[in-house]
Structure 1
Amino acid sequence: MDGRAGEPVRRYEVTEVEPVGAELGASAQQPPSSGAGRGMFGVQGTGDTSGFGGLQRRRAVELDSPRPFGGEFDEVVDALEEAYTGFNDAIERIVVDRGELTLHIVPERIAEVCQAMRDDPALRFELCSSVSGVDYLGSDGRRLHVTYHLTSLTFRRRVRLEAAVTAEVPHLPSVTQVYPTADWQERETYDMFGVVFDGHPNLTRILMPDDWEGFPQRKDYPLGGVPVEYKGAEIPPPDQRRSYQ
């Protein structure tokens, strides 16, 4: 067909070009991982767990925070030092980060410190709102950390205690005699991370079956899973995707 009057006729040649970056031939294809992030449990480099290398993990604070800590934090630390005679032997380091005071406690002393935090009139941290676990796989020998969030209803303050143990000897004293609310929370931490709370009245699994082997929230626990079927497609289990293989 001719073009408009006075204009040359334009002709186009159509060629097939394979899409760049596409991986064809799979019904449930996952995007390939980059060198910066290999996925959740095989992550290297930036700490990206998405598989695309776009996230940057903030470097963990490991050093003591210098005094003055600022505001009420100095009052809390001074009151604990005065109330608890074993302060220097029990406190490994004190960190103030992102508006939160964290006291790193020698594992054997965690229940004693909680007792002082609750009973001293200048502290009065009456509530333990949370006991939870963290696995810092590859950090050092004491990779399993347990965190305790304490709240003073009297003074409207919050503080975070943290104790670290090894995966080979994951024992901590139970704080249930000080904070009864820690009962089920310690059971969940035991169930998911394998931390044994000595002195707990009934340390049994709370989420997984009693005969379950392993601790699902440890970073070296296998992903497992089952394939999920969709109409015309099937998603493989996590340990068969990308770099999990």
Structure 2
Amino acid sequence: MAESINHELIQSLTERFGEKIIGVNEPYGLLTFETQKDIIISVLEFLKTNTVADFNFLTDITAVHYPEKKHGIAVVYHLHSMVKKVRIRVKVFIDEHNPTIPTLTGLWNAANWMERETYDLFGVKFEGHPDLRRILNMDELGVHPMLKQYPLEDPNRVDKKDEYFGR
């Protein structure tokens, strides 16, 4: 059933948004696609109100940092249709030097805290958010800890020096 809904959904999305729906695949049956930040609100509103799947539940908003890619941060939305028992993943790649994207708080109230968490950990600024501030880290913390911009280990640790291990 999920496969037929996925096929119908992609068909209706491409009819509505055309070439702005790219990278369509189904890893483990989970329909995944990419779109652009200028139409993300329209795409997610379409998914929420479309009768093919009726994605009425926003499961999660998060981000992934890809420092090797041109647009280094992917904002990832997970939606769930409680009625049809189908899930979907939507990705939007944004510039890591100007990580802004429109807020979803107008569509789902639950987006409020999810966007605040994503801002805190990845530095993604959700334009139009009613109260965008840190919720997990201290306000004085000058970095966003999930960005891969820092070395994984402290270079000053003496117990990791090769001469101690005969190398």
TM-score, normalised via structure 1 length: 0.59
Note the C-alpha offset of 1:130. Answer: 0.4
Note the 1:12-91 alignment, pairs <5 A.
70-82=3-15, 85=16, 87-91=17-21
3-state DSSP class of the match of 1:185?
helix
Relative to its length, the structure with more helix (as a share) is: 2
Note the 1:98-137 alignment, pairs <5 A.
98-137=28-67
Note the C-alpha offset of 1:109. Answer: 1.2
2:10 partner letter: V
Note the C-alpha offset of 1:70. Answer: 4.4
Size of the aligned set, in residue pairs, is 157
Aligned to 2:154: 239
1: CA distance, partners of 2:151 / 2:142: 12
* Aligned 8 A contact 2:5 2:52 in 1: no
Unmatched 5+ stretches in structure 2: 162-167
Note the C-alpha offset of 1:213. Answer: 0.4
* Aligned 8 A contact 2:103 2:129 in 1: yes
Structure 1 residues 221 and 188, CA, compared in 2 at 3 Å: closer, same or farther? Answer: farther
2: CA distance, partners of 1:136 / 1:172: 17
2: CA distance, partners of 1:183 / 1:95: 28
* Aligned 8 A contact 1:215 1:221 in 2: no
1:75 partner letter: E
* Aligned 8 A contact 2:5 2:53 in 1: no
Note the C-alpha offset of 1:192. Answer: 0.7
1:239 partner letter: D
Aligned to 1:156: 85
Note the C-alpha offset of 1:168. Answer: 0.9
1: CA distance, partners of 2:55 / 2:89: 11
Note the 1:141-220 alignment, pairs <5 A.
141-220=70-149
1:76 partner letter: L
1:141 partner letter: K
Q: Between Structure 1 and Structure 2, whose CA radius of gyration is higher?
A: 1
2:20 partner letter: A
Aligned to 1:96: 26
Unmatched 5+ stretches in structure 1: 1-68, 224-237
Aligned to 1:226: none
Note the C-alpha offset of 1:222. Answer: 5.0
State, as a whole percentage, how many aligned pairs show the same letter: 32
Note the C-alpha offset of 1:211. Answer: 2.5
1:119 partner letter: T
3-state DSSP class of the match of 1:73?
helix
1: CA distance, partners of 2:77 / 2:30: 13
* Aligned 8 A contact 1:214 1:221 in 2: no
Aligned to 1:24: none
Q: Deviations over 1:109-128 (max 9, x none)?
A: 11111111101222310001
* Aligned 8 A contact 1:149 1:158 in 2: yes
Note the C-alpha offset of 1:89. Answer: 4.5
Structure 1 residues 71 and 120, CA, compared in 2 at 3 Å: closer, same or farther? Answer: closer
